[in-house]
Every structure is written in C-alpha cells, then in structure tokens.
Amino acid sequence: MIKRYKPTKDNTITDAFGETLTTRGTGSNMGLSDIIEVFSIYGQVSSSVGFSTEESRILIEFDLEEIQSDITNGIVDENAKFFLRLFNAEHGKTLPRNYNLEVQSISGSWQEGLGLDMEDYTDLTYGYGSSWVNSSGSTSWVTEGGDFYGAPISTSDLFEVGTEDLEIDVTAHVTEWLNGRDNHGLAIKLPSSLSSQTRSFYTKMFFARGSQFFHKRPVLEARWNSQVKDQRVSFFASSSLAPASDNLNTIYLYNYHRGALADIPAVGQGEIYVDLYDALGGDALTQCIDTPATGGWVSTGIYSASVCLETTGSELYDVWWSGSTQYHTGTIEVESATALSTPPTSDLVISVTNDQGTYRTNQTSRFYFYIREKNWSPNIYLKASSTPKTKVFDNLMFKISKVITDEVIFDYDTTNLSTTLSYDSNGNYFDLDISMLEPNYVYEIELALFNVMTKSYQVLPFKHRFRVVNNEY
C-alpha cells in the first residue's frame, strides 16, 4: 500500500551572486516560490584568493505527528519504507548531468519565509524566513548554509541526463525522528565532493509545494507490502505435487457488528480454533498439522488460521470456535493440484465488480476485480451458481495514470511490493487513499501479472477508468 504526505514548508537557500556579480544572496529567501533548486557554480568571479564558488540547497519538512498517528492507528505499517520524491521542473537554463544529490536531516528549526525572487535574490528575510545565513529572520545557523546531523546521509541514484525526478529512500531519517530525534526536515544538496570541484553543476530545479501542478508537488511516500491472502477462494487439498509450505491454506474470519469490525469479546486478541468437516454434524477431519487448527487475531475484528488437509472431497465446512462457543461456519470449495504436459496458456477477462464511477477525495476506496479465463463456458449439471467464482493471483500489481496527461501517478512497485493486490472470496483487490489524487480528473487503472515462464511482469489487456471529485454538485 502507498500513503503520501505533503510538506509543511520548503525553501531554497543560496550564497550565489546576484545579476551584478558583486553581492551574494546570502540573506535572500525563496520560501514562497513554486520552484526549489540545487546547484553549484564555479568561477563566475575571480579575486586574489582564486575563483568563486556558489551553491544552492533545498530545505523541506513534513509533519511527523501525522506520520506517527497513522502508524499508531494501523493506517501505515510500522515497517513501511519512506521515500522522498521531488519532481523535475523543466527550464531553459543549463542542465547538469552525471551527478548525485544527497539528503541530510536538519538539526535545528527554520522558517519557510515569504520570498519569491530566484534570479536577483532581492527578497531578503527582513526578520522572517530562512536564508543561507539565518535559520529564521533573527537567528543564525551555527554553520552558514544550514545545520545538519552527521548521519544518516542518503545518496540518490545518478542523474545521468539531468531531467530525472528525485526518488530517494529516507527511511533511516524518518526512523530517527520516530525514535525521538527532533524533526526539522531534510536538506537536499550536492555532496561536498561535487560542489567543491572546479566545475559547475547548474542548475537542477524541482517543483515546490506551492506549485499549481498537483502531482508535481514534493511528497514523502510510505510504501509497504499490505497483501492479504485469504485462500478460502483458492483452497488446495494437500498434495505431494506441492511444497509443504504451499499445502497450507490461510483462511480468515471477519466479525462485523452493526456494520463495523469488532473483536469477539470472549476471544479478544487471543487464540481461536478451526475445525474442518466434510459434512455438518459429522466428526472433525484430521488436519495435517493440528486438529483443530489454532488461529489468532490479525486486526480489529479479523482473525486468521492456517489449515492443511488431505482430502478428495470438493467441499468443506470450516467451523470457528473457542471454549464451548461456535462463532461461525463457512463453506470452502476444494481444488486439487495437477501436473500438466505443457505449460498453461490463457487469456483473462477482467472487470471491476464494485465500480462507483466517481470517488471523493476524503475517502479510502477498495477496488475489487473479477477475473476469469477468456472463452470460459461452464457446464451445468446439478447446481448452478448465480455468482461465478473468480480467479485470484498472488503476483498481480496495479498501476494508476492520469488520463488527460498520461502521467503515471503510481507505477508497478516490484521492489517494495506496495502495489501488490490482495485477495479474498470477492476477488483480487487493493485499497487506495483517494486524497492522493487531484480532484475533477479521470484516472486509469492497469494491471500486470507475473509470468512464471518469462520471470517478468506482463501487462494485462485491461484498463479501468474512474473519476475523482471534490464537492462536485
């Protein structure tokens, strides 16, 4: 899953010369500019001590209390990774190539300021705002150019062309804040090994938090694998064709009371037990590991248990109980592992089963996908189902783009698996915080499935569009 956080302030500070090349902009502030900028310039001015060096750095800060609250409330996983993302701003000036940027935690408080001028540096702090010299209008940095903790230091990937966006893992910095270090944000700058060179890196620009372009504003992005595998819909009997670990089936119990998930009072966050039956009223079947299977608490109102069973039957009943009380009886369709003479090939038909068409920015929505094989035609013998069974997949990922600009908002995340779909009896699904999308635009979902033959993800022939609205009447 993905959760984005917006910055509370950002600024560019510099000791660069103004247009006249006589006065440095060390007292200037650019806190209200819609651009933030990193550069170094060598040799614009010469003197008896040699050629000049000039530098620009970015300061940016995020709301740690919001992050901490989301972790405490289970909205964000405590093991999530955090990535700082800045988006390239095209410009007509010289663009550096083949360089890295580094990120350090700022060690003291600073003010954003009200300045705009990024050319002549005429917007001075005048008692408010940060600059190269001051962290606030009346308080100086201990060291000009900003005060930073020595560790951790995060280094970006190489900007080969120069137009790349910045995406850098800052989990170590966020962890320090969560562990008690004061949060004063991050500084983005050239490493001293580059800024001290007798060459220029001029100039790399990113969009600031005040940009009119919603999806170009800086974000701190939390990513984690939130996949849930409720294998009630893909329950396999124990087989010698499968590894021992794959003979386990994890099934879930969802306890709803008055429309909300609630813990079972007598169970709480303790153990719950599951017996399997091939006929209600008969004897519990002997499972591969323990009979009954021991389950446990997952989150509020949700319990799970892993079961394993050797059976040739096609249907089972799962009974959840604790003490002398039975809490739920469910039904499971059993599948059997099979070996094939040739690899399977199939086309898939996919649809969104709970499509709302429009979604509001103040909600988190779940998208369910019904998947079946193309040209599937069931034969009906004794019993027909009004709801055909959906196929589910472990390695299915989503991607979201903004239609009008073809801009990728969330790409397939094959590293942290934050875009991996979960599944239950209703099909594959993912949850999306709609507030991360700009309102009054149409977005498109695409899916990619891991191909075990090619060992790569392949995009499926499926696209689904939905609209995000905000107080639209």
3-state secondary structure of 231: helix
pLDDT value at residue 357: 92
CATH 2.60.40.1930 positions along the chain are: 348-469
pLDDT value at residue 72: 96
pLDDT value at residue 137: 86
Tell the CATH topology of 231-335: Immunoglobulin-like (2.60.40)
How large a percentage of the chain has pLDDT more than 90? 87
Which range of 81-85, 372-376, 387-391, 452-456 scores highest in mean pLDDT? It is 81-85
For the stretch 334-347, pLDDT in tens is 998 888 887 777 78
Q: Which residues contact 180 (CB under 8 A, 6 or more apart)?
A: none
Pairing of strands 7-14, 50-62: antiparallel
pLDDT value at residue 382: 46
Average pLDDT over residues 160-169: 98
For the stretch 295-346, pLDDT in tens is 999 999 999 999 999 999 999 999 999 999 999 999 999 998 888 887 777 7
Average pLDDT over residues 24-47: 96
pLDDT value at residue 32: 97
pLDDT band at 54 (very low <50, low <70, confident <90, very high): very high
Statement: residue 151 has pLDDT above 60: yes
- CA angle, 184 as apex, 180 and 188 as ends, to 5°? 120
For the stretch 365-392, pLDDT in tens is 999 999 998 876 665 554 555 557 899 9
Contact indicator for 207, 196 with CB cutoff of 8 Å:
no
Statement: residue 283 has pLDDT above 60: yes
Higher pLDDT, 233 or 389: 233
Q: Which residues contact 101 (CB under 8 A, 6 or more apart)?
A: 38, 155, 156, 159, 166, 168, 188, 189, 190, 191, 204
Q: Give the tokens for residue 59.
A: 């300061």
Higher pLDDT, 471 or 146: 146
Q: Could you tell me the CA-to-CA distances from 426 to 143, 224, 251, 286 in Å, in that order? A: 59, 23, 13, 28
Contact indicator for 399, 446 with CB cutoff of 8 Å:
yes
Specify the range with the lowest mean pLDDT, choosing from 173-187, 208-222, 365-379. 365-379
What is the homologous superfamily of the domain 348-469 according to CATH?
A: Macroglobulin (MG2) domain (2.60.40.1930)
How large a percentage of the chain has pLDDT more than 70? 97
